[in-house]
Amino acid sequence: MMEELRKNEQVEANIDGFSSDGGGVCHIGGRAVFVPRALPGERWRVRIVKANHTAVWGRGEELISPVPERVEPACPVFGRCGGCATMHMDHDCELRFKLGRLNDALQRIGGLSLRAESIEGADKLAGYRNKGIYNFASGPTAGFYRARSHDVITVSRCLLQPECFDRAAEALRLWMEEKQIPAYDEATGKGLVRHLYLRKSSSGFSACIVSAGTLPDGAAEALRRTCPELTGIMLCLNRNPENTVLTDDIRTLWGSDIVTEQLCGATFRLSPLTFFQINTAQAEKLYRIVGEFAEPAGKEVLDLYCGAGTIGLSVARSARKLIGSDIVPSAVENARFNALENGVENAEYLCGDAGQVSIKLVQRGEKPDVVLVDPPRKGLDEAVIGAICDMAPTRLVYVSCDPATLARDLRLLDGQGYLAIRCRAVDMFPRTRHVEAVALLEKVQA
């Protein structure tokens, strides 16, 4: 029988598992209690913060017995900034947490017997991000959102970003302060500067200021003075009250809006709106797994959600034909350029929503042998799943950044005759709770 737990009650408890966000879980009075930044095997004195009929949340008041996997977080705002979730554990512990999170989702949400075989750890745990988005608030201040909110936590040095990103954010903040340029206020819809979107590659470093309106002259010059390595500066006008960072209204203030990057022996051209994996070194490992699962030699391959074409082009040379699609016009333009730039002549790219493009391909009689999907965090919608099944590929390779939607979609695909037979994970986002996964599905023969 479960005991009633009251707010502010304090209990000693052993942490016996991970929560999905990297915290710990203990059991008190027959109820699971979530304790942020606690690790399995530890004993804590826990204060009950909130309890209702669905869940109980606690706060670790005293760590009575730590485990050897616990480390001192290197970031002074860890626990307040919503970016990192695993800085309090060593990397081996982080990998166990992420593999466990993925396998828990496959079993609990997907109802699958499939288990991820392994997880590819990262060689570099700091400064690995090739893209950063800094948020601005009144002050002005620059930083990142607190977990589950849009409160901006001021961050002067983010250990996950290259140092030049922090310099660029501070340069823009100082310029705003000097010129009395207000940050955008979500509550009132007033103000101007919302975000600074940064991208760094082996060839360049670009900055895109996201503003609710036009800015006075001088922002580009301020960024260039502090960051002479910049190769392009843009202004994105975003008057949308929703959470979307970039719109397609992007104007070049100076230099080029394009950077190029090397990946899997190919060169990729990237514009601001084009999706590209944020960890280039780990993306190499991810795409090797995709190639192993796809077995593309001599086959027709469909690459949905293709972005700059990276996944499809990594397997195109051995494939008979490659078809790629993306909803972002500039991404499709990048993909076409990247195919030509890398000498790939067997590729065709279509622009449109993945579901609509899939239906169009079915209507024109395309029968790809292999389909690659790398959807956004929300996963596949029913139209895409239906169209893929209508094309009846023998293999489907699903790349996912969200274990919950991956597990849900694998369950749905299983009901359409596609059995998930292999899964592997990649630590694409060290020091955060996120994990990338690749699943291989095969069509069940009637």
> Which residues does the annotation mark as catalytic?
401
Q: 147 — phi, psi (to 5°)?
A: -55, 135
Neighbours of 55 (CB within 10 A): 11
Structure letter (DSSP) for residue 184: P
pLDDT at 3: 67
pLDDT at 87: 97
Distance CA 142, CA 166 (A): 9
Burial of 236 (0-12, 13-18, 19+ CB in 10 A): buried
Dihedral sign (CA 156, 161, 163, 164) = negative
Query: Residue 22, Cα to own-chain centre: how many angstroms?
Result: 16
CA distance readout (Å), 321 to 54, 253, 263, 281, 351? 51, 39, 21, 27, 17
Whether the CB-CB separation of 284 and 263 falls below 8 Å is answered with: yes
Query: Residue 224, Cα to own-chain centre: how many angstroms?
Result: 29
Domains 10-65 and 131-257 share a fold: yes
Q: Is the peptide bond before 140 cis (omega within 30 degrees of 0)?
A: yes
Which amino acid is it at 59?
A: R
Burial of 135 (0-12, 13-18, 19+ CB in 10 A): buried
Whether the CB-CB separation of 182 and 192 falls below 8 Å is answered with: yes
CA distance readout (Å), 432 to 59, 97, 348, 377, 407? 20, 11, 36, 15, 20
Tokens of 197: 């979107």
pLDDT at 18: 97
Nearest Cα residue to 289 out of 394, 99, 116, 426? 426
Strand partners, 195: 135, 210
Distance CA 15, CA 43 (A): 6
DSSP three-state, residue 262: strand
Please state the domain extents for the chain: 10-65, 131-257, 279-443
Burial of 365 (0-12, 13-18, 19+ CB in 10 A): exposed
> Strand 141-145 relative to strand 119-120: parallel, antiparallel, unpaired?
unpaired
> Strand 205-211 relative to strand 232-237: parallel, antiparallel, unpaired?
parallel
Beta strands in 271-365 (DSSP E): 300-304, 321-326, 347-351
Burial of 402 (0-12, 13-18, 19+ CB in 10 A): buried
DSSP three-state, residue 261: strand
Residue with structure tokens 């991404």? 331
CATH homologous superfamily for the domain 10-65: Nucleic acid-binding proteins (2.40.50.140)
pLDDT at 243: 87
Distance CA 5, CA 7 (A): 7
Tokens of 260: 């190029």
pLDDT at 2: 62
Mean pLDDT, each 10-residue run in order, the chain (446 residues): 80 96 94 96 97 91 98 96 96 98 97 97 97 97 94 97 98 98 95 98 95 97 98 97 93 97 93 95 97 97 95 95 95 96 96 90 92 96 92 97 98 96 98 98 88
Tokens of 27: 């059991």
pLDDT at 8: 93
Whether the CB-CB separation of 259 and 205 falls below 8 Å is answered with: yes
pLDDT at 154: 97
Tokens of 294: 């796809």
CATH homologous superfamily for the domain 279-443: Vaccinia Virus protein VP39 (3.40.50.150)
CATH topology of domain 131-257: OB fold (Dihydrolipoamide Acetyltransferase, E2P) (2.40.50)
Q: Crossing angle, helix 382-391 and helix 403-415, to 10 degrees?
A: 50
